[in-house]
Structure 1
Amino acid sequence: MNALPNDRTGLPRPKIRPHPALPAGVAGALVLLALLLPLLQGEEFYASLNRGYPGVFTAVATSVLRTVAWLGAVATLAQLGLLCFFGGPGYAAGDSGRAAARRAAGFAVVWGLSSLLLIGFIAADNNGVPLNWVVSSSFMVFLDTTQAAQAWVFAALCAAVIVPALLLWQTWVSRFVSLVLLCSAVLLTVLVGQVSVGADHDFASDAAGFAVPAALLWLSSLLGVYWFLAAGGKLSAQGFRRFHVMSWICAGVALVGYAAVAYQGLAGNAPTDSSYGTIFLVALLAAAGSALLAWSNARQFNRAMAEQAKVPAGYRWRLTALLGLGAVFLGALLALQRTIPPRYLLVQSTQENFLGFSIDGARSFIGWLLPGRANVLFSSIAIIAVLLYLLGVRTLRNRGDVWSKGRTISWLLGWLAVYYFTSSVWAERSPGSFGLHMMGHMGLNMLAPVLLVLGGPVTLALRALRPAKPGAPSGPREWINALMHSKISLFLTNPLLVFAIFVGSYYALYFSPLFELGMRYHWAHQAMNLHFIISGYLFYWIVIGIDRAPRPMPYIGKLGFTLAAMPFHAFFAVAVMSSTTIIGENFYRSLQPDWNTDFKADQYLGGGVAWAAGELPLIVVVIALLTQWSRSDQREAKRKDRRGDQGLDDSLDNYNDMLAALSDRNRPQPEQPNRDAARQGEQ
């Protein structure tokens, strides 16, 4: 057994050398699978979807390019994971880190070029026409009507941002932002695919929102660490621990999330009744096996660390097995892109196609106020945020530190508001009514953020988290500090930008086609709700936030900042109430809920809600701001009094000395003798 790396005892780092050719062999096998699958399926696959056959070239090229894009994304994330999470400060800032950043940029180029080519190929494949039809005819028409092609446009644009960012800025923040941007782009290509079809697709889409990033982090961490060790790299003990924890947690989240996606796609059928279910079963078994093996590796590693500081026997082969299970999982996911879910073959209503569920039916007054269909995404985020916050409070109390109960209550109420405004009965039915939608908008944009910023989550995290040990990879505390002091945070908290987003988004969203886009697709509706929360949080963070903002403002500036926003809300509400054009009319007429037939009156109600719910919270914020201002002045006065009592404040003495000097300057001076007259007298 090899000596285990131990940052505390200074033991040598291990020489774990897995076979370097295995990742290349895995990638080749996946590309071969992508090449053979459309050849084996032939025209039957497209006929079952009522599409024309686009030809062998288009079908094969689309499948291969999609596989290459996924491999490029995972390889990019593998290098970014080493730089951000596993490699440590010496690796990230040294020549090896710069080389890893260049490799990440190179793989991002592969991902970006594949995404760029997929725009046309996906448009042709999804419409069942050869590629030359798309190129020679009106390309923009195909692009405008093919949502999947639009998602790959976003992926190509993200690659165009990531590549120069990795080459020009060698900072942790630039690499982390690149990682988040890449995961978001890959997630969007999934959300516009199979998970967006049929009844309950809202559950499947939200589950994919957790499963896809988790799968990407799991697969990329496996590839990154395997690659790093195969090239002769040596991870620290903390790096190994973090790799083990990330592997089994992310594999477990991917398992649960994709199980929910499979359940929705199977539409009640047994997994073995269709090729879709069988392939999904293989993927889930691979994820479960990887999660269990990673958890077992973590336990053995910790035991070896505690007992003899040795690498567990057979660790190299278990690492190879983890990579193999990850390859099986990724291959199954790629094969599912060419497999028809049973859900596709069922007839769905218009409301189910747009929303995933029906919103018809009468409700009592009390029924409208009760919890309704759960919004999986925001309910899960709320639960995680509350648990992490309470864990931080408990950590402080165990140390004997004090944390304000008011801040804790404010944080809990804020996430309770998020849950209610996304998962109540009227939130469930808000897609069918502009007035109900506006209630949710005001709650997520004006109420919940006020409560959340008063919770002071960043301050709590910085107090509860311990700094990383010297030489060890940076931890969450260092990550938060880096983000808070980054140029990106300075840019995002620029008062002019925050004001423009907070106020201008009302006009840009509701008086443009963006609103109907946000209501028509579940992923876009969730993104819109997320925008409401984030834009409101940034605005109120600057004004009344407990956490210190990257761009602090004086209280007089905060007051003017808040008062300046109030007229814009009133103007927007008046414009909505007086408009003769129904906002999102085509969408509402497509849903046609049986309880909302007068769209004009409903829009007038929405404008009234925007006026009342937009002005009242701002007035409350002004009162809270004035209270904070007064308390700040009182604290400053007490601080000066204490310094004066201790003899540390000499400002009063300096002031008295200045008055004395001015008094001496104005006092008449005694007359001086005339020296010339004296001289004449002497003569």
Structure 2
Amino acid sequence: MSASPSPSHAPRVLSTGLLLALAAAVVAAYVTVWLVGLDLSVRPPLPARFQADHVTGLISLVADLTARLGAVGALGAFVAALAGGLDAGRLTERGGRFAAWGGRLAQVWFAASVLNTFANPAYVNGVGLHTTLTPASWWTFLWASPSALAWLYSAAVALGCVVAAYASRRWATFALCWAAGVSALLFVSVTGNVTVGLDHDWATDAAVILTLTAVPLLSLAVGSWLAGTTAAARGYQRVALPLLLIAAAGQAVVAWQQLAGVPATATPFGLWQLVMAGIAVLWLASWALRAVRGARPGASVGLDAVLGVAYLAALTAENHVPSPRFLEPQTVMINYLGYQVQVGPTIERLVSLGRPNLLWVVIVVAAIAWYVTAWLRARRLGRPYPLLRLVSWCAAWLLTLFLAVTGLWEYSTVQYSWHMVVHMTVNMMVPVLAVLGAPLSLIRAASDPQPGHVGAAAGLDALEASRPWQIMTSPLVAWLLYVGSLFMVYFTPAFSWLMKYHWAHQLMLLFFMATGYLFFEQIIGSDRPGRQLPHLLKLALVISIMPFHAIFAVSILSSRTLIGAEFYQTIAPPWIPDLLAEQNIAGQATWFLGEVPLFLVIAALAAQWFRSDSKEAADSDAAEESGDDDSFDAYNDMLAELARRDRQAEREAHLRKFQP
């Protein structure tokens, strides 16, 4: 397979003037964070909180900025490598050079991230850097500070990118590195200031949306500038505006929550919000200028890379400057959840509008909008896609939307029984419906690659041919994740820890949704035409998880030890006098909601099995009638030959009786 840019899309040489402007922007960014560090060193500490010394603060600022610059630079180089095209599943020669540069930048990213695992928890907890430098104290501070864990994950991803850049030239490898890099910066984003105070659940969700649009925007700007082709510039121009607008909306929600009603001009944190808003306006003006003049490689795209450096400097400063929200009093429940729940659930409260899960709402809208757009595109390309799959996909996400906007979500965060109702729904029912939508097959049906671009179908084929993808989606791994994750989360201290943080609770449920999708894709999915398991083995896989679901539910129901005790005893919902009795109800709900979807899966599998056998029989009959299949004739000829041999043997035996 080859999908390389055409000669008409030849790369241009990078402008020396723009390179100097980018270097000047990087120098200015470091001067800016140095000045921020000096300013923080002379400000009084927050009430009842320790403040780190100015050296620790400065090291944290510099390491933070360096890691972000190195990460975006590496991801941008990977984008340029991926845009260089596919050659039998591998990067082109030019793409390989960009990948090597990405590996060098990833080394900087790795070193700064490692430094941040020491400097960040020291700064956050108001102690000197020397306090975290011993192995024992480093380990203690690491697990006490989620932001330090985020930087540890960032270091691990950066190291993986370094290894990949030196050991591989597979296109899929760098696509996975890019996705992992986005997830690393996402983890850093959601463990910062947005985790504090009233409405921090919405601010955290907004930070997720912001990062999932801003980081791709930044890396695409750098990558298209490095690629230096008209095709790359036009591709970037098409996606820049929606990414920019969504990122700006996410930043606005974060600013609203963190400012806590204080005017932006009245606090240093607010001033940095205004700076980022100004950068967004300049970015929008740059996009508009390209829209008028035409998207061409060179300075117009490189300007966005310079703006990206300015944005990262402002983001680093914002992450270190205390926001007005830190001065607002909060209850224990607000500290953990971001909101207060004082009354118990009723049927009316559970099914009517409650506190919405902002992230889920955005995911639902994006998933349905993407699928409908791709479905219509496939029809326009003359590849009509089944309507039933569209209905199934939409049903999966509408069910998710129901969970996200009703009282079910709100009460699932404070009451174990309703948590398990939501958990079992997103772990079983939603994935079953989503799998029946066959989204990967739709990607292929809607793919129509343009010259100079790697098409979605070609990229997906390269991913599915890669070893990491095949391992992650193998039946054994899917089974182990689906069954093992239940016990590893709920019967260890992990559950209580995950429930204390909104971002961790979201991650837990999305992980359960993903493991459910991977498992049921093995059973009733249509996205694996070349790797389908025998139907009998599929049935065996379904039956094999039933005992584990039963054991899991019975263990919850009969346990005398409170699951998530630290979390539930701390928030102490006033309408639940007996947490063990509540846990018993959760076990009953788990048992019921765990078995019913499995029987539906078995019914769907039986229907697919019947259709498959019927199709094989019809194909065999048609081939026999047309003469294309002579297997039956061969079989009949074999039987006739055996009969002839038997008759011959009988005659010979009969003649031997009369011989002297």
TM-score category (smaller protein): over 0.9
CA separation of 1:477/1:292 partners in 2, compared to 1, >3 Å: closer, same or farther? farther
CA contact (8 A) 1:82 1:224 kept: yes
1:449 to 405, 408, 431: 431
Deviation at 1:144, TM superposition (A): 2.7
CA contact (8 A) 2:221 2:302 kept: no
CA separation of 1:323/1:162 partners in 2, compared to 1, >3 Å: closer, same or farther? closer
Deviation at 1:122, TM superposition (A): 1.5
One-letter code aligned to 1:437: H
One-letter code aligned to 1:265: Q
Deviation at 1:401, TM superposition (A): 4.3
| 2:617 corresponds to 1:617 | no
Q: What SS does the corresponding residue of 1:223 show, helix, strand or coil?
A: helix
Deviation at 1:56, TM superposition (A): 3.0
Q: What SS does the corresponding residue of 1:21 show, helix, strand or coil?
A: helix
Q: Note the alpha carbon deviations across 1:43-89, whole angstroms, 9 max, x for none.
A: 425x12543343232121111111111111111111011112x3334
| 2:275 corresponds to 1:282 | yes
Q: Which residue of 2 aligns with 1:254?
A: 247
Alpha-carbon distance in 2 for matches of 1:35, 1:559? 62
Alpha-carbon distance in 1 for matches of 2:312, 2:75? 15
2:551 to 568, 571, 594: 571
Structure 2 residue ranges without an equivalent (≥5)? 656-660
Q: Which residue of 1 aligns with 2:140?
A: 141
Q: Which residue of 2 aligns with 1:437?
A: 419
CA separation of 1:559/1:408 partners in 2, compared to 1, >3 Å: closer, same or farther? same
Deviation at 1:334, TM superposition (A): 1.6
One-letter code aligned to 2:576: N
Alpha-carbon distance in 1 for matches of 2:301, 2:133? 46
Q: What SS does the corresponding residue of 1:198 show, helix, strand or coil?
A: coil
Greater displacement, 323-332 / 91-100: 91-100
Deviation at 1:189, TM superposition (A): 1.4
Alpha-carbon distance in 2 for matches of 1:420, 1:550? 35
Q: What SS does the corresponding residue of 2:521 show, helix, strand or coil?
A: helix
CA contact (8 A) 1:411 1:455 kept: yes
| 2:289 corresponds to 1:296 | yes
Deviation at 1:92, TM superposition (A): 7.3
| 2:194 corresponds to 1:195 | yes
Q: Which residue of 2 aligns with 1:335?
A: 317
Q: Note the alpha carbon deviations across 1:643-679, whole angstroms, 9 max, x for none.
A: 122221111111111111111221226669x9xxxxx
CA contact (8 A) 2:351 2:406 kept: yes
One-letter code aligned to 1:249: P
CA separation of 1:213/1:18 partners in 2, compared to 1, >3 Å: closer, same or farther? farther
Greater displacement, 158-167 / 518-527: 158-167
One-letter code aligned to 2:102: A
Alpha-carbon distance in 1 for matches of 2:10, 2:149? 51
Greater displacement, 440-449 / 29-38: 29-38
Q: Which residue of 2 aligns with 1:153?
A: 152
CA contact (8 A) 1:248 1:292 kept: no
Greater displacement, 554-563 / 179-188: 179-188
One-letter code aligned to 2:336: F
Q: Which residue of 2 aligns with 1:357?
A: 339
Deviation at 1:320, TM superposition (A): 4.9
Q: Which residue of 2 aligns with 1:653?
A: 633
Deviation at 1:29, TM superposition (A): 1.6
| 2:115 corresponds to 1:117 | yes
Deviation at 1:316, TM superposition (A): 4.8
CA contact (8 A) 1:485 1:550 kept: no
Greater displacement, 551-560 / 119-128: 119-128
Greater displacement, 282-291 / 130-139: 130-139
Q: Which residue of 2 aligns with 1:308?
A: none
CA contact (8 A) 2:22 2:306 kept: no
| 2:241 corresponds to 1:243 | no
One-letter code aligned to 1:274: T
Q: Note the alpha carbon deviations across 1:453-506, whole angstroms, 9 max, x for none.
A: 11111112211221444xx22022222222233222211122221111111111
Deviation at 1:252, TM superposition (A): 2.1
Q: Note the alpha carbon deviations across 1:205-227, whole angstroms, 9 max, x for none.
A: 1111121232222223333344x
CA contact (8 A) 2:522 2:533 kept: yes
- Residues 280-679 of structure 1 aligned to structure 2 (within 5 Å): 280-301=273-294, 316-469=298-451, 472-548=452-528, 551-668=531-648
Deviation at 1:317, TM superposition (A): 4.8
Length, aligned pairs only: 647
Q: What SS does the corresponding residue of 2:413 show, helix, strand or coil?
A: helix
Greater displacement, 587-596 / 36-45: 36-45
Q: Note the alpha carbon deviations across 1:393-435, whole angstroms, 9 max, x for none.
A: 2223334543322221111110111222233202211121111
Greater displacement, 217-226 / 146-155: 217-226
CA separation of 1:452/1:299 partners in 2, compared to 1, >3 Å: closer, same or farther? farther
Structure 1 residue ranges without an equivalent (≥5)? 1-5, 303-310, 675-683
One-letter code aligned to 2:318: L
CA separation of 1:282/1:429 partners in 2, compared to 1, >3 Å: closer, same or farther? same
CA separation of 1:285/1:549 partners in 2, compared to 1, >3 Å: closer, same or farther? farther
One-letter code aligned to 2:237: H
The CA RMSD over aligned residues, in Å, is: 2.4
Alpha-carbon distance in 2 for matches of 1:9, 1:173? 24
Q: Note the alpha carbon deviations across 1:287-341, whole angstroms, 9 max, x for none.
A: 1320342143135316xxxxxxxx6xxx855445433433332222122123221
Deviation at 1:364, TM superposition (A): 4.0
Alpha-carbon distance in 2 for matches of 1:94, 1:541? 33
CA contact (8 A) 1:375 1:422 kept: yes
Alpha-carbon distance in 1 for matches of 2:427, 2:568? 23
Alpha-carbon distance in 2 for matches of 1:268, 1:415? 34
- Give aligned-pair identity as a percent: 32
User: Whose Rg is larger?
Assistant: 1
Alpha-carbon distance in 1 for matches of 2:376, 2:183? 33
CA separation of 1:221/1:627 partners in 2, compared to 1, >3 Å: closer, same or farther? closer
CA separation of 1:560/1:321 partners in 2, compared to 1, >3 Å: closer, same or farther? closer
CA separation of 1:11/1:501 partners in 2, compared to 1, >3 Å: closer, same or farther? closer
CA contact (8 A) 2:426 2:509 kept: yes
Deviation at 1:234, TM superposition (A): 4.1
CA contact (8 A) 1:112 1:160 kept: yes
Greater displacement, 105-114 / 369-378: 369-378
CA separation of 1:12/1:563 partners in 2, compared to 1, >3 Å: closer, same or farther? closer
Q: Which residue of 2 aligns with 1:42?
A: 41
CA separation of 1:39/1:400 partners in 2, compared to 1, >3 Å: closer, same or farther? closer
Q: What SS does the corresponding residue of 1:219 show, helix, strand or coil?
A: helix
Alpha-carbon distance in 2 for matches of 1:521, 1:144? 13
CA separation of 1:153/1:377 partners in 2, compared to 1, >3 Å: closer, same or farther? same
One-letter code aligned to 2:328: L
CA contact (8 A) 1:374 1:423 kept: yes
Q: Note the alpha carbon deviations across 1:557-583, whole angstroms, 9 max, x for none.
A: 000110011011001111111110010
Q: Which residue of 2 aligns with 1:32?
A: 31
Q: What SS does the corresponding residue of 1:668 show, helix, strand or coil?
A: helix
CA contact (8 A) 1:393 1:464 kept: yes
TM-score when normalising by structure 2: 0.93
